[in-house]
Structure 1
Amino acid sequence: MQANEIKNRLKSLIEEASTIDSNLAQKLEEINRWVKNVKPGSLMAKPFVSLFLQQIIADAIVWLRLKSLPYEEEQLALNALKPTLKYWYGYLFPKWLNQKDPKFYIWKRKLMAGEFSQQDAKLIGTISSSIENFGGTVVQRYIADLSMATDIIVSSSQTKPLCIQLTSISAKFNQEKFEDWHKTLLFWEIERGLFLSYNPSITDFINQIINIVLDNSDNLKIGIYLKLNL
């Protein structure tokens, strides 16, 4: 999507949401105020801002379609989704819409200032593709990453997905990050999570991550926020 198309789509979705879900309309209006004075060329020169906007537009479209359905049909539509998408649209996304996000203003500023870089994007893409090849499902969202400390949401054979944070910070130095991650998951009432610290210099570390993620997706109990180090 080009910048003008993004801005026009945001405005039309705000208007549509105003009659269906005021919380979505409010969030979209906040995002619209954030970008409305950014020139189209400047907006397209900020790839993470542009990608986030396209992502939130896509989510808003799905959400409005769901909320336009009678309750029973909405539930049938949610149940027809893959487990990770059902978890996103049925739980995490509405939570984000209905709650004040204490990190939203921080990461909006960082995105616009070019201070955000997905250094692990290639790794996460490889992991996600492998999980899907094994029959699992994965969801990635900037909202989950930046507000909910969740790089990927994974479901292997269980219908209850697992929120996962990956970090290459060594175990010796990542305790503060782990504590912030744990508090964030509790704030969003995410019922279980995996904090996985990896060493990219270890042979076959990607396959080790994949095996650990799949195993914990199936077996990690509700109420457990597990920290593991490779």
Structure 2
Amino acid sequence: MQGKEVKQHLDLLTCEAQKICPDLTNKLQEINLWIKDKKNGLLTSKKFVSAFLIQLIQDSYVWLELKKLSSSEAQKQAYEQMKATERYWYSILFPQWLRSKDAKLYIWKKKLMAGEYEANDEILIQVLSQKINQKGGVIFQRYIADFSMATDIIVSHSQNQSLCVQLTTVDDKYVSDKYKKWQETLEFWEINRGLFSNYNPADKHYLDRIVNLALYNSNNLSDGKYLKIA
């Protein structure tokens, strides 16, 4: 999607959201202000800016379609057709982001536009996604969840319960501090359970370990628990 198309979609979505969803309107207006003076070619050339905007557009269209449904029963049926991780995103986390003040939004918008986001775990997540799918699980990823909610991936398995997972490789002496900030972030967003995995890439079994822990805990971790694996 080219920069001009992105701006057009955002304008259309903002107009439509004004009729039925003030929270979405406010967030879209904030994003519009961020990009309105940027040249279309610049937006297209910024890989992760473009990827985030396209994700936001997709999520906004889905959210508006859900809001247009005439009854709670119709909404329920629509959610039941989604995978568990998508359902968790659209029914819980995305609306939570829309109605809340995101203190990190200004920071990560600035970093995205400056090209400071490098997506170092992009290949890792692709491999994890393949392995999780092979084991009958599902995985979901969103830039908003990553940047604002300390969640690299959302994972679900046989019990159709979604688990927010952060993947990190920090030195042992920094683990406790990062874990504390991670837990505080999840609690702020009312994410009631999560998995913090500080893995060692030198361990030849680390990929399978992450997959097994994510799938097991998506089924079994109790509410109110924020599990640290380091």
Identify the residue that residue 159 of structure 1 maps to in structure 2: 160
Q: Trace 1:1-230 onto structure 2 (pairs within 5 A).
A: 1-70=1-70, 71-229=72-230
CA shift digits 1:66-101 (9 cap, x unpaired): 000022201210122111011000100000011111
Kept in 2, the 8 Å contact 1:84–1:155? The answer is yes
Q: How far did residue 159 of structure 1 move?
A: 2.0
CA shift digits 1:147-178 (9 cap, x unpaired): 00000000011222000000011333222111
Distance in 1 separating the partners of 2:201 and 2:136? 25
Q: Which portions of structure 1, spanning 4 or more consecutive aligned residues, are displaced by more than 3 angstroms?
A: none
CA shift digits 1:24-72 (9 cap, x unpaired): 0110111011011111121122111000000000000000000000222
Distance in 1 separating the partners of 2:116 and 2:180? 23
CA shift digits 1:107-159 (9 cap, x unpaired): 11111111111101100111012111211111100000000000000001122
AA partner of residue 38 (structure 1): K
TM-score (norm 1): 0.97
Distance in 2 separating the partners of 1:107 and 1:17? 24
SS of residue matched to 2:19: coil
Q: How far did residue 204 of structure 1 move?
A: 2.4
AA partner of residue 90 (structure 2): Y
Distance in 2 separating the partners of 1:96 and 1:69? 21
CA shift digits 1:183-216 (9 cap, x unpaired): 0000001010000000001112111211111111
Q: What RMSD, in angstroms, separates the aligned Cα atoms of the two structures?
A: 0.9
Q: How far did residue 12 of structure 1 move?
A: 0.4
Deviates further, 39-48 or 9-18? 39-48
SS of residue matched to 1:130: helix
Kept in 2, the 8 Å contact 1:84–1:137? The answer is yes
**Number of matched pairs:** 229
SS of residue matched to 2:197: strand
SS of residue matched to 1:154: strand
Distance in 2 separating the partners of 1:129 and 1:35? 34
AA partner of residue 57 (structure 1): I
